[in-house]
A and B are shown apart, each in its own frame.
Chain A
């Protein structure tokens, strides 16, 4: 449980941390688009290079970044196996055959391709939350969403809710651990293989967690009120977002990267 790194900020004061959050959000959004656009492993090489450079610059331990993959390992393994076993092709003969399964070389390629896509998809946003404080993140997001204020969308409130959610992730994870231990001490069985039994066994954890989340919400509301919270009206900010030289360089880097990937898909420029 404690290994969940999503939404956990890792302070190190590096260049990746200090980039303008608006730019970082743009970077990650583009990055995700790229991951879907990439046609082959060469493209993934470029995308991986991008995320590796950003990780090295961030001084966040590689381990913490990689840990963000852990929750999806099962998904990756599952999709890979399914792809390999049930891939079928009419054009070519299977390369290996075993019992009812026909295995094609092409399926191995596709499985690897999908695994790369899933893993890279998670790494980018994980690095974003590791290197960007929730307040920066919400400020950046609020800036991007500000056009929606014209249609009366409560952008500020929505982004505040998001930052509070991020703030409470570690607290709730800790609390879940405590409740699980308390129920285990009363001989609760969480290791049952039976899925229905397993779901049922989570009730003694989920109910107290819900109750306490509501209690926390109540208390937090009082704390917000006590600190004169009144929505976006008349609100100022301690930290100003600044787009500086480093941001410009990062932006150019991104542009080159973007062109390189698109080139892989559309072959604008032929490299021989």
Chain B
């Protein structure tokens, strides 16, 4: 691979044949890795979970020390203890979890913590804090408390805290992975601005290819080795990327499937495609807008029995107080057995409050709600309801607690007082359903598993109750692309057993691909329930709510605008590729 040298010539960070293994681990995380980062560049470091990305981040500022080789920051080795603070002032790290990197309750106090540590005079600390907060656009929250901020705002404060040390390099270790799309946009904007306007060197560790796409240089890691390093041309190497557990951004996926090369963004793809298609069909080309419809096998079967029926469901947080906040405003919805219902909408739009009603974690206040034949507005059996409505929360792996995987999964079935034999049977069955091997995993401690395995075990713990409805709150949050696809495929498989699936998601590509119906929430109201086709047709509505449009539909509608004859309701990139191949 060629290294893009169009930026500064000064090398600010240099890895020389670095090897690193965690204490007690047999295989090293990094093996003989060399990498140079030029001043002023914007580098994306990509790889699957466990590929060594975060280790690299921690090696950059001496939080970890290489076992072999050395890491040089502006020529100083991180092994040199006397230079450690110099290095940490130069290279600032922003971490993944917005809650775990703040020291002080008040925003400005937190930003001041770094400069205070390195003994900056009082007046200058004030200047630095004000400047840093202004750069990330958080000035108005300077005196606010940390708990009241959104995830995106918290991460911007974390960036400001690092900026106050006036670093030359800022390393973001999956800093957007726990944020909603809005928060992610906020953070990415700040990062791009830092690179462009302030000349800051940015190393962004990510497994989102859409993010990597923002960088000038993309370095791909696989099992501790660099497998690709270059500009956007690395997207031409689909096989290597897939092997590294990553995926192509949708535009590059389409381009590579159609054998197009040298495409570097979505617009470029649309231009190229439309010009080549027009040239090809110049004689018989007829503009037939939206005439044709992609025939999908996903149809709503209204004949199936209704399993959830809500009427006029209304909920207010802390009613009667001055903080009263309406979270659900007369929701009417009926969900049929066999549905794969997607629930979309911004953070705070009422999605979570709604699903919390389904298993009575949130006590109904007003309206009617019947779930699995139980009327929740009158007296009902909690255990019967909760065993029928399985709920998988965000990051469900954080709820694991028991000594062994098998015991943890048995927790639910035990609570509903099943017989020992039945419990064992169900534990076996659910471990199998989540794609794990019973014999190797059942007696392990859940805490010694990998992140992806933990999530599967947590999922198994819910399906061991054999629920009729499975509710999932962002089941793919924080996973790498390979992990995401695996979990979603698992859910499709599990759906054969539990019939009805309800999934909250911010990822519209997922919703378009997997759901047969979508409920759209906005400001505590249910705006509509429709098929994904109908929903994603309404591009203006989605844009006005600042929600994403699935990439397949975004690209297709641009092509249609250019006069290409395509159906508008293409719900996945695969379908789009198929259609384009036909033309």
Q: How far is the CB of B6 from chain A (nearest CB, A)?
A: 30
Q: How far is the CB of B117 from chain A (nearest CB, A)?
A: 4
B449 at the interface (CB under 8 A from A): no
Q: How far is the CB of A1 from chain B (nearest CB, A)?
A: 13
B287 at the interface (CB under 8 A from A): no
Asked if A228 contacts B125 (CB within 8 A), the reply is no
Asked if A223 contacts B122 (CB within 8 A), the reply is no
Kindly identify which residue among A203, A219, A229 contacts B95, using a CB–CB cutoff of 8 Å: A219
Asked if B97 contacts A219 (CB within 8 A), the reply is yes
Task: List, in ascending order, chain A residues with CB within 8 A of B322's CB.
Answer: 61
Question: Contacts A9-B145, A187-B387, A238-B129 hold; do A227 and B109 have CB atoms under 8 A apart?
Answer: no
Task: List residues 87-139 of chain B with CB under 8 A from any CB of chain A.
Answer: 88-89, 92-93, 95-97, 99-106, 108-109, 112-122, 125-126, 129
Q: How far is the CB of A58 from chain B (nearest CB, A)?
A: 16
Task: List, in ascending order, chain B residues with CB within 8 A of A238's CB.
Answer: 108-109, 112, 115-116, 122, 125-126, 129
Q: Would you list 29 pairs from A and B whose C-beta atoms are within 8 A, ordered by A residue?
A: A8-B147, A11-B143, A13-B143, A134-B105, A160-B103, A163-B103, A167-B102, A181-B361, A182-B398, A185-B391, A186-B386, A188-B415, A204-B411, A208-B401, A215-B100, A220-B101, A226-B63, A226-B93, A227-B92, A227-B162, A228-B117, A228-B118, A228-B165, A234-B119, A235-B117, A236-B119, A236-B121, A236-B125, A238-B109
Asked if B100 contacts A184 (CB within 8 A), the reply is no
Asked if B115 contacts A185 (CB within 8 A), the reply is no
Task: Produce 1/0 per residue, B429-463, CB < 8 A to A.
Answer: 00000000000000000010000000000000110
Task: List, in ascending order, chain A residues with CB within 8 A of B412's CB.
Answer: 186-187
Chain A residues proximal to chain B, CB less than 8 Å: 8-9, 11, 13, 61, 63, 133-135, 160, 163-164, 166-167, 170-171, 175, 178-179, 181-189, 203-204, 207-208, 211-212, 215-216, 219-220, 222-230, 234-240
Closest 4 CB pairs of A and B: A187-B415, A223-B101, A207-B401, A186-B412
Asked if A187 contacts B383 (CB within 8 A), the reply is yes
Asked if B117 contacts A230 (CB within 8 A), the reply is yes
Asked if B162 contacts A170 (CB within 8 A), the reply is no
Q: How far is the CB of A250 from chain B (nearest CB, A)?
A: 22
Task: List, in ascending order, chain A residues with CB within 8 A of B85's CB.
Answer: 228, 230
Apart from A134-B104, A204-B399, list 9 A-B contacts with CB within 8 A: A133-B104, A135-B109, A188-B415, A208-B400, A220-B100, A222-B63, A223-B102, A227-B162, A238-B116
Kindly identify which residue among A185, A189, A226 contacts B359, using a CB–CB cutoff of 8 Å: A185
Task: List, in ascending order, chain B residues with CB within 8 A of A170's CB.
Answer: 147
Bound: A150/B105 CA distance, A: 29
Bound: A230/B113 CA distance, A: 11
Q: Which residue of B lies closest to A63 (CB)?
A: B321
Q: Which residue of A lies closest to B91 (CB)?
A: A226
Q: How far is the CB of A11 from chain B (nearest CB, A)?
A: 6
Asked if B104 contacts A182 (CB within 8 A), the reply is no
B465 at the interface (CB under 8 A from A): yes
B325 at the interface (CB under 8 A from A): no
Q: Which residue of B lies closest to A221 (CB)?
A: B63
Task: List, in ascending order, chain A residues with CB within 8 A of B106's CB.
Answer: 9, 133-135
Bound: A66/B121 CA distance, A: 41
Bound: A146/B401 CA distance, A: 42
| CB-based A-B contact count at 8 angstroms | 172
Bound: A220/B144 CA distance, A: 21
Asked if A224 contacts B103 (CB within 8 A), the reply is yes
Bound: A61/B416 CA distance, A: 44
Task: List, in ascending order, chain A residues with CB within 8 A of B120's CB.
Answer: 236
Asked if A166 contacts B416 (CB within 8 A), the reply is no
Q: Which residue of A lies closest to B417 (CB)?
A: A187
Asked if A228 contacts B411 (CB within 8 A), the reply is no
Q: How far is the CB of B222 from chain A (nearest CB, A)?
A: 25
B396 at the interface (CB under 8 A from A): yes
B58 at the interface (CB under 8 A from A): yes
Bound: A182/B394 CA distance, A: 10
Question: Contacts A211-B447, A228-B117 hold; do A179 and B398 have CB atoms under 8 A apart?
Answer: yes
Asked if B58 contacts A222 (CB within 8 A), the reply is yes
Bound: A238/B105 CA distance, A: 15
Bound: A63/B321 CA distance, A: 10
Asked if A216 contacts B100 (CB within 8 A), the reply is yes
Task: List, in ascending order, chain B residues with CB within 8 A of A239's CB.
Answer: 109, 112
Q: Which residue of B lies closest to A134 (CB)?
A: B105
Kindly identify which residue among A61, A133, A237 contacts B122, using a CB–CB cutoff of 8 Å: A237
Asked if B145 contacts A226 (CB within 8 A), the reply is no
B161 at the interface (CB under 8 A from A): yes
Q: How far is the CB of B398 from chain A (nearest CB, A)?
A: 6
Task: List, in ascending order, chain B residues with CB within 8 A of A230's CB.
Answer: 85, 117
B338 at the interface (CB under 8 A from A): no
Asked if B105 contacts A167 (CB within 8 A), the reply is yes
B393 at the interface (CB under 8 A from A): yes
Q: How far is the CB of B410 from chain A (nearest CB, A)?
A: 10
Asked if B122 contacts A187 (CB within 8 A), the reply is no
Asked if A187 contacts B465 (CB within 8 A), the reply is yes
Asked if A228 contacts B89 (CB within 8 A), the reply is yes
Kindly identify which residue among B165, B361, B390 contacts A227, using a CB–CB cutoff of 8 Å: B165
Asked if A164 contacts B103 (CB within 8 A), the reply is yes
Bound: A211/B61 CA distance, A: 27
B517 at the interface (CB under 8 A from A): no
Asked if B93 contacts A222 (CB within 8 A), the reply is yes
Task: List, in ascending order, chain A residues with CB within 8 A of B387's CB.
Answer: 187
Task: List, in ascending order, chain B residues with CB within 8 A of A236's CB.
Answer: 115-116, 119-122, 125
Asked if B103 contacts A226 (CB within 8 A), the reply is no
B146 at the interface (CB under 8 A from A): yes
Q: Which residue of A lies closest to B415 (CB)?
A: A187
Q: How far is the CB of B112 from chain A (nearest CB, A)?
A: 4
Asked if B105 contacts A186 (CB within 8 A), the reply is no
Asked if B109 contacts A184 (CB within 8 A), the reply is no
Q: How far is the CB of B136 from chain A (nearest CB, A)?
A: 16
Determine which residue in A61, A167, A171, A238 has the highest number of CB atoms from chain B within 10 A of its CB, and name it.
A238
Asked if A225 contacts B361 (CB within 8 A), the reply is no
Asked if B61 contacts A187 (CB within 8 A), the reply is no
Q: Which residue of A lies closest to B64 (CB)?
A: A222
Asked if B105 contacts A133 (CB within 8 A), the reply is yes
Task: List, in ascending order, chain A residues with CB within 8 A of B321's CB.
Answer: 63
Task: List, in ascending order, chain B residues with CB within 8 A of A171's CB.
Answer: 99, 147
